[in-house]
Amino acid sequence: MGSGDTTSAVSLPGVELAGVCDLYTGRLARAKERWGNQIFTTRDYREVLARKDVDAVIIATPDHWHAKITQDALAAGKDVYCEKPMVQKIEQGQAVVAATKQHGDRILQVGSQYVSSLVYIKARDLLTAGAIGELNMVEAYLDRNSAIGAWQYSIPPDASEQTVDWDRFLGTLPERPFEATRFFRWRNYEDYGTGVAGDLFVHLLSGLHFATNSLGPTRIYATGGIRYWHDGRDVPDVMLALMDYPKFTLELRVNLKAGLPAENFGFRFIGTEGVMTTSYNSVTLAKTPRETEPGYTIDTFAEAQQKEFLRNYHRQYPQQRPIADTMRPESEKSSPPQKDSTPTSTTTKTSSPP
């Protein structure tokens, strides 16, 4: 993500890459190959923060370094774009919030891409307009179906204590012998990452909170385990969660090996008058009007009682003849992005049952 964020940043007018910090020498060499030999490279992030020609930094390190580097960068007078999650441990959050207040002239942005997505802007607008009535349930899912998707990142052939600054990587964690797997596949371990929750739940939750204007759940139950990737990791590869919000309930699922041919991601917002489904680049809306009558089950009643029931029922719910409007076919409405927005389109599909 650091390389991707940098590529996006330097494409903007007036932005220049001044320096790169990484604990693996191969990535420093690659940075010069990509962005020029003139850039400054180091294994010590503090040397980047000390430079007067650096106005802002991108923090795309393993999670256990996010809070410390963010605070140091703000104190050094730099604006900060920190990849999600903002912190590794909940208790670190207060110190980061305090640092942003202390250095109020600096900007801290946390990288949660779905908060910047046109899809969730459209979803929020539709929910606000009452497109599916009152929201009562949300299903969210993200199934990863590849080794890379399950954090089996490639390990370079020259990985060693000579090419990796292992001690700096560990930071304040207890000493342990060098392990290339733990360094290059750090998401698999509680010591350095946040597992499924910090890597993937955060996408689903941030998109949900943005679309529904929610601050968070009032009650959570989560469970999971290591079901497929028995590779030494100590974080689950399957996690499920149920979350109660003031006005709806969330069902959340992440599976790193779901037996599907491709990554499967999306939301289903279920309301009293329809269902809205989102994917990476589309919104689909299916309208289902509220029930106007409850129906009946009277077969076990005596015949006299059945007749009395039906007389009262049809008096309360008169039978209506079908009209053309209730038999119209499915219609499709496209909502293209504005000229000054990112190139992501949304589509709204509306259908009415006959």
Place of tokens 């309301």: 271
344 lies in the same domain as 206: yes
Q: Is residue 320 part of a domain?
A: no
* 3 state DSSP class of 335: strand
Q: Is residue 252 part of a domain?
A: yes
Q: In this structure, how many other beta carbons lie within 10 angstroms of the beta carbon of residue 275?
A: 16
Tens digits of residue pLDDT in 325-351:
555 544 444 454 454 444 344 454 444
pLDDT at 149: 92
Confidence of residue 49 (pLDDT cuts 50, 70, 90): very high
The CATH number of residue 246's host domain is 3.30.360.10
87 lies in the same domain as 130: no
The residues with which 271 forms a beta bridge, in sequence order, are: 135, 274
Q: Is residue 183 part of a domain?
A: no
Domain with 251 in it: 115-150+193-289+327-350
C-alpha dist (Å) from residue 1 to 61, 121, 168, 237, 331: 9, 23, 20, 21, 39
pLDDT at 353: 37
59 lies in the same domain as 202: no
144 lies in the same domain as 80: no
pLDDT at 261: 77
Place of tokens 């089950």: 297
234 lies in the same domain as 213: yes
Place of tokens 């923090």: 59
Per-chain mean pLDDT for the chain = 90
Using the predicted structure, report yes or no on whether residue 304 has a pLDDT greater than 90. Answer: yes
The number of distinct structural domains making up the chain is: 2
The CATH number of residue 11's host domain is 3.40.50.720
Residue 156 half-sphere exposure toward CB, CA atoms < 13 A: 13
Q: Is residue 312 part of a domain?
A: no
93 lies in the same domain as 217: no
Q: How far apart are CA 294 and CA 311, in angstroms?
A: 15
Tens digits of residue pLDDT in 173-226:
999 999 999 999 999 999 999 999 999 999 999 999 999 999 999 999 999 999
Confidence of residue 85 (pLDDT cuts 50, 70, 90): very high
Q: In what order do the strands lie in the sheet with 79-83?
A: 56-59, 79-83, 108-111
Tens digits of residue pLDDT in 90-146:
999 999 999 999 999 999 999 888 888 899 999 999 999 999 999 999 999 999 989
Q: Give residue 138's identity as a one-letter amino acid code.
A: V
Q: Give residue 172's identity as a one-letter amino acid code.
A: T
Domain boundary among 57, 90, 111: 111
Q: Is residue 243 part of a domain?
A: yes
* Token pair recorded at residue 144: 């990863």
Q: Is residue 303 part of a domain?
A: no
